[in-house]
Amino acid sequence: MALRIIFMGTPEFSVATLEALVAAGHEVVAVYTQPPRPGGRRGLDLQKSPIHLAAERLGLPVLHPLNFRAQEDRVRFQAFGADVAVVVAYGLLLPEAILSGTRLGAYNGHASLLPRWRGAAPIQRAIMAGDAETGMMVMKMDKGLDTGPVALARTVPIGPDMTAGELHDRLSTVGAEAMVEAMSALEAGILETVPQAEEGVLYAAKIDKAETRIDFSRDAAHVHNHIRGLSPFPGAWFELEVNGKPERVKVLGATLADGEGRAGEVLDDALTIACGGGAVRLTRLQKAGGKPLDAADFLRGMPVVPTTVLR
């Protein structure tokens, strides 16, 4: 018999899991997501989250309380009589009344190999740290921040030039498959959990705009990981002087390269840039107000001659 599920999520990352649970035959009785936020070109239009739009497409009821402080919101949640809550990147810390508001509790799909990278930005932080692998874990939620016991884990390798966007898409698919498997085991009464290890805890702090500028004085491996960990959003960047004025350029792709020089120095016509040790070659860039371009196309519109120093 199918589970009665309350699904809780917000960004595009969550959509694959919602769709997979519906396709697996579970009854999604309600979808919770973050409220519509100002957006559009002028920031005046209220825009629904990707999960809100997916739920409407699937014909599922959508709720978007600002939080669960109001008693009426907690009562409404419990009134659905759900077997379980499935949470994937919802964006709120859930109170005990919600965690215990279904028959079997709440299970979270988290994009790291816990206890490494608990918190808000596990995909970006794993790449920025140079991790060779990460994964998806299905965890039974408790009151802590990603501290609950783990029910199921799937490991995903991180390729040497893989960006956060590419890893995001891979983990979204893997996470959907893992959650369907976990819910099947839960329905059968055979889902087991194990406590997280007490060693190896790391927190994935939200990405701050202040850390997005590229520091070419760092070694090439650090610069490379920084660039791909912030691609495509928010994007690592440098400044290039154009007509006597600094212009910001995002770097959306890079690879390690051979070369030595002053930190930030352009070494050749292929955008090989010297770092504090070693060099990186920039492969995909985007100037302010422009579209992402491969390096060759970017250079046709904005020549960058060797010996130029990027800041």
In terms of Cβ atoms closer than 10 Å to its own Cβ (0-12, 13-18, 19+), residue 14 is buried
Q: Binding site membership for (6S)-5,6,7,8-tetrahydrofolate: which residues?
A: 112-115
What's the token pair of residue 230? 């912030």
Cβ-proximal residues to 274 (8 Å cutoff; 6+ apart), any chain: 216, 259, 260, 261, 262, 263, 264, 265, 267
Cβ-proximal residues to 169 (8 Å cutoff; 6+ apart), any chain: none
- Comparing CA positions, the residue from 299, 307, 300 lying closest to residue 282 is 299
CB neighbours of residue 4 within 10 Å: 18
Q: Binding site membership: which residues?
A: 112-115
Cα separations in angstroms, 94 against 68, 117, 157, 257: 8, 19, 31, 46
Element (H, E) at 97: helix 96-99
Report the C-alpha gap between 91 and 10 in whole angstroms. Answer: 7
Coil, helix or strand for 79?
A: helix
Domains of the chain in start order, with CATH, are 4-203 (3.40.50.170), 209-301 (3.10.25.10)
- In order along the chain (311 residues), what is the average pLDDT of each group of 10 residues? 94 98 98 89 82 98 95 97 98 95 98 97 98 98 96 98 98 98 97 97 96 98 98 96 89 97 96 98 95 96 93 90
Report the C-alpha gap between 91 and 49 in whole angstroms. Answer: 12
Report the C-alpha gap between 255 and 244 in whole angstroms. Answer: 29
Q: Residues 49, 11: contact at Cβ < 8 Å?
A: yes
Taking the C-alpha atoms of 263, 264, 269 and 271 in order, what is their torsion angle to the nearest 10 degrees?
Answer: 120
Per-residue model confidence (pLDDT) at position 3: 98
Pair type for strands 203-204 and 118-119: parallel
Per-residue model confidence (pLDDT) at position 40: 67
Cβ-proximal residues to 57 (8 Å cutoff; 6+ apart), any chain: none
What's the token pair of residue 218? 């760092």
Cα separations in angstroms, 163 against 59, 123, 182, 223, 226: 34, 9, 28, 13, 10
